[in-house]
Structure formats: C-alpha cells, structure tokens
Structure 1
Amino acid sequence: MRNLKSTLAAMLLLLSPLALAQDLSAQLQAFFTQRLTGFSDDVTVEIRTPQNQLPQCEQPTLSVPASARLWGNLNVLAQCGSEKRYLQVNVQAVGNYVVAAQAISRGSKLQPGSVELKRGRLDQLPPRAMLDISQAQDAVSLRDVAPGQPIQLSMLRQSWRVKAGQRVQVIASGDGFYVNGEGQALNNAAVAQNARVRMPSGQVVSGKVSADGNILINL
C-alpha cells in the first residue's frame, strides 16, 4: 500500500506541471483571441518558454504593453502575486488585410478599385500593414506598388485638405464663446492634422483641419 501511495504521489508530481502548462496554454489562447476580436477569427498560440520556467499558479495575470503588436513572436508578462515571469509565445492570426488590386504609381491618388481585402496570416505581414480598407480612401501613394502587394501605412499619405498659401477659415471656440476669421495656411495638412495659419494681424495660430477644410482651435 505504501508503495502504491508513493507511486501515485510521484505521478501527481509529474502530471502537475503538465496540467499547469495545458491550462496556461488555454488561458493564453483566450487572452489573445479576445484582444484580436475584429482583426482575426482564427488564432493559435504556441508557448516557447521551457516548461520549468512557467508560472506556478493556476491563473496568472497576463498582460502585454498597450503599444505592443498582438501577433508574431511576443513577450507576455505572467504574474502570480508578486512573482513575475515573462513568457515567450508565438501568436498566429488569420484575418483580412489590404493589398493593391492593381499597379499603383507613386504620387497617384487611390481610387475605390485600387485596393482590395485579402485573407491570410497577419503575423507574416510586413510592419504596419493596413487592415482597415477605409484608411486607403483618398490617400496618395508615396511609392510604386505592385498588384497583390500588402499596403503598409508608411506607403501612403492622406490627401491634403489644406495647402500652403490657401485662404482658410479659422474657428476658435471655448466655454461660451465662438470666434471665426480668415487667414492664410502656412503648411499642407490632411484632415485631423495640424495646420498653421497667419492671420491678417500677422499672428500665427495653429489648429486641426476639419473635414470641410476649416481650422478648428479649442480654447
């Protein structure tokens, strides 16, 4: 009987780390599936940290930096009380991304048929690949792009809504007041970007470009 108990105890000791690893794998799967909602509906997580270096509690608190990407090779912070461990994981995610539907010439403005969505591995895309096709609307290409090539945000700039030298309306508003006047734009700017404007008095002000081309200043 004593030998049987010893054998069972030894088996439990061996199975316990394996069970913890399997549970951690499921937790990581749920963690990344939730965060990739809207980007990917097919997520696979592989733990690359050796089993003897995994956290020893049943439900560690998992986190990644807010600015970190959510696929590819990542470090995940797993915290059990005051104990912290960094896990190396590989996250594979399948979803839609934006590619060139036809050849795009540098300097050309994108048209509705210039780009299209393609489904594939997001973790294999180049950095800052575009996932939202609306971001390409009215954008200008900064380089030549081949058909089928993934669109990176660095390849495009938004069309200028305001151009240097253009006369623009400046609208300043605050708590209980509203003032507007006309000035001359000093730089090119797209919607939601900052534009500097010289007013008739010579004063230079700065505000955000609205969709209708006005310069908005919140005081």
Structure 2
Amino acid sequence: MRNLKNTLMLTLTLLSPAAIAQDLTQQLDAFFVQRLAGFSDSVKVSLRNPGNAMPQCEQPALSVMGNNKLWGNQTVQAQCGTEKRYLQVFVEATGNYVVAAQPVVRGTKLEPGSVTLKRGRLDQLPPRTMLDINQAQNAVSLRDLAAGQPVQLSMLRQSWRVKAGQKVQVIAQGDGFSANAEGQALNNAAVAQNARVRMPSGQVVSGQVDADGNILINL
C-alpha cells in the first residue's frame, strides 16, 4: 500500500505544472541551440507565459512565429496534433560579434586590423550587429567608429568596384550566345550589385558587376 502511495505521489509530481514547464524549457533550450548553431554556443531560454499556454503533449512540435529574429523576445508555436499553443519566450544567446579594434574615421576602407571579434551577449546588441568578420573585408565605414564599438551592417558599405563615369566592359550572354562591348557606368556599384551603363549607341543597359569589374547581362 505504501509503495502504491509513493508511486502515485511520484506520478503526480512528474505531472505537476512545474515539472511540465521544466521539461518544456529543456525542449526549448534544445530547439534554440539547434536554431542558433553557428551564431551562438551558449543559449538559455526563459518561458514567459506558462499555464494555459502549455501544450498538452510531452513532445510538441516547436516552430518560431512571425519574425526573423534569432534571440530576444520570441513567439514559439507548440503544436500537439491539430492543437496549437503559443509560447512567449526570451532567448539569451552568447557568442562572437564584430567590434572596431581601433578608432575608424568615416570614409575609411577597413583593413584586417580595423575590426576584431568580441564575445558577449548577442541579445543585448544593437540591431543588425555584424557577426561574420569577413563581411567587413574591404568595406568602407559610413560613420566614425570608436574602439570597441559593435559594428552594425548599416554602418558599412562594400567598396565600389565600378564608379560612375568609368569605362566598363559589358558582357551579354545567352543560350549559345556571347557578346561584349564597352560602355560608360552611370552609377557606383560594388561586386554583385547592379550597374547601369550607357552604350555608344546611347542605349542604357543594366547588369550585375562581377569581381573583375565587368557588367554581366543574362539574355
């Protein structure tokens, strides 16, 4: 009788809201660890709305709703069969991000020593902080940067591969067809951006800038 009572008490404990919430938090941790692989190596998830929002199965299917944010406040859909519950969570993430290694003057082309990686809380950073240091390679700063300042993507632009007024080669390619001619660029453009070109005939064409500064047009 005592063993039966103990078993019932253990079962009730395991099924208690606190135990269920703890198990769900572990599942959320695992879900976001996988989601943030390559960005963060330390993730902690806090469940903000337990209670009626709790899914009614042990292994709900989890998915993130409504935005492209990787951390901070998130809405997670927890689905059990046809039933859906919506969980409000806060995701703490720690990892590397890019900061200015030294003061950088607006208009300066970044060198390898201009930026470095720093480890810290990604969810506390300004929006669109750069995480991949390779994105800063050959970029130009659009504003003054202080040493140690997180670098946001909006603070940089890629170096111009083509400048307005420059003579460029326009290469047009199609199925079994290829032709090239010289024209004059009408706008500044970086690699993989579009450039408009005035041809000797006066016609204006548009194509993508390649690494050699040519303008590629696919027909």
> Unpaired runs of 5+ in structure 2?
none
- Describe the superposition over 1:28-61 as per-residue Cα deviations: whole angstroms up to 9, x where unpaired: 1111111111111111111111233211111111
Q: Do the aligned partners of 2:66 and 2:75 also contact (CA within 8 Å) in 1?
A: no
Matched residue pairs, number? 216
- Describe the superposition over 1:81-135 as per-residue Cα deviations: whole angstroms up to 9, x where unpaired: 2222221111111111100011111111111111111111111110000001111
State the AA in 2 paired with 1:126.
Answer: P
Shift in Å, 1:156: 0.6
Please name the residue that 2:78 is paired with: 78
Please name the residue that 2:184 is paired with: 184
Distance 1:194 1:164 in 2: 12
Distance 1:77 1:205 in 2: 47
Distance 1:66 1:179 in 2: 46
Please name the residue that 1:93 is paired with: 93
Q: Do the aligned partners of 2:209 and 2:216 also contact (CA within 8 Å) in 1?
A: yes
Please name the residue that 2:215 is paired with: 215
**Secondary structure at 1:99's aligned position in 2?**
strand
> Unpaired runs of 5+ in structure 1?
none
Please name the residue that 2:134 is paired with: 134
Mark the CA change 1:65 to 1:182 in structure 2 (over 3 Å): closer, same or farther: farther
Distance 2:207 2:23 in 1: 52
Distance 1:84 1:10 in 2: 30
Please name the residue that 1:30 is paired with: 30
Q: Do the aligned partners of 1:20 and 1:56 also contact (CA within 8 Å) in 2?
A: no
**Secondary structure at 1:33's aligned position in 2?**
helix
Normalising by structure 2, what TM-score? 0.91
Please name the residue that 1:19 is paired with: 19
Shift in Å, 1:15: 3.6
Distance 1:156 1:208 in 2: 20
Please name the residue that 1:162 is paired with: 162
Distance 2:66 2:33 in 1: 16
Shift in Å, 1:19: 3.5
Percent identity over the alignment?
Answer: 75
Q: Do the aligned partners of 1:100 and 1:149 also contact (CA within 8 Å) in 2?
A: yes
Normalising by structure 1, what TM-score? 0.91
Mark the CA change 1:127 to 1:98 in structure 2 (over 3 Å): closer, same or farther: same
State the AA in 1 paired with 2:118.
Answer: K
State the AA in 1 paired with 2:97.
Answer: Y
Distance 1:65 1:208 in 2: 35
